[in-house]
Each structure stands twice: as structure tokens, then as C-alpha cells.
Amino acid sequence: MNNSKNYPIIKSESEWRDKLGDEEYRVLRQKGTEQPFTGEYNNHFEKGIYNCRGCDTPLYLSENKFDSSCGWPSYDKSLPGALKYIKDTSHGMIRTEIVCAKCGGHQGHVFNDGPSTTGERFCVNSASIRFDGE
């Protein structure tokens, strides 16, 4: 996990384990990835806001969500300042990891293949977010 001292919200690993379910902990704190097409928000298109499941920080607006057919919730942008970007060279690839700027919780990755005017696709794990409807 990222050095938690770099984030305003700091918890011990036991505190995170107490707060999060097993899959949420694996994704948010251990940089895991849920299986494609299995997340509760993959085909979810209600109006509202998606928050970090770790610390409840608003991250994405529903108006920025689109169906990318990649198997994970996708957005063409995040809320300003909501995420930190980290170079990820794991698995023999060069990618950009996205984490919550408040707690460092792993969200997923951002790619430059989005269909909108931003050209970006924020590929996010459902286990790392929570939806608040309007």
C-alpha cells in the first residue's frame, strides 16, 4: 500500500480491516482488482455521486460515467483534486494508478483511450466506491 503518511486520512491496517469488508480491503488497501463484469456499479447509471468507500470522499459524478464495455465502471474524469496519480509498472505494463487523494485507497487505473472530449477512461473497481443518489 502507498505510504499512508502522504494522505490526510491515516488509519492502521487493523482499523482499515475493521472498517472494510474482505474484498474492499483487498482492492483499496492491497491494490487488488475485482473480476471484470462482476462489480455492482459496472452497469449502474443512476444520477448521483460516487464516493471513496474507504473515506467517503466524493470522487466521480454520475454524469461522467459511461459504458466502456471493459467490465469495470468507467468515467471520463474525476472531481478536481479527488485523486492522486501514481506510475504503475506492475505486471510488465506501464500504467497510471489512481488513488483517493484523502486516504490513498486504490481506485484502479486511468487510460488515454476514452471516447469523450477528455480522452480519458478512469477504470474503477466497484469495491472501491460507494454511490450516493440524488
Confirm whether 70 is a catalytic residue.
no
pLDDT at res. 6: 84
CATH, residue 72: 2.170.150.20
- Average pLDDT (28-33) is 96
55, 100, 103, 123: the active-site residue: 123
Whether residue 34 has pLDDT greater than 60: yes
pLDDT at res. 45: 96
pLDDT at res. 5: 65
| Domains contained in the chain, number | 1
Asked if the structure places residue 103 within a domain, the reply is yes
Asked if the structure places residue 44 within a domain, the reply is no
CA pair distance 122, 110, nearest whole angstrom: 4
Asked if the structure places residue 43 within a domain, the reply is no
Asked if the structure places residue 78 within a domain, the reply is yes
Asked if the structure places residue 114 within a domain, the reply is yes
pLDDT at res. 4: 54
With a pLDDT cut of 90, the percent of the chain lying above it is 90
Asked if the structure places residue 16 within a domain, the reply is yes
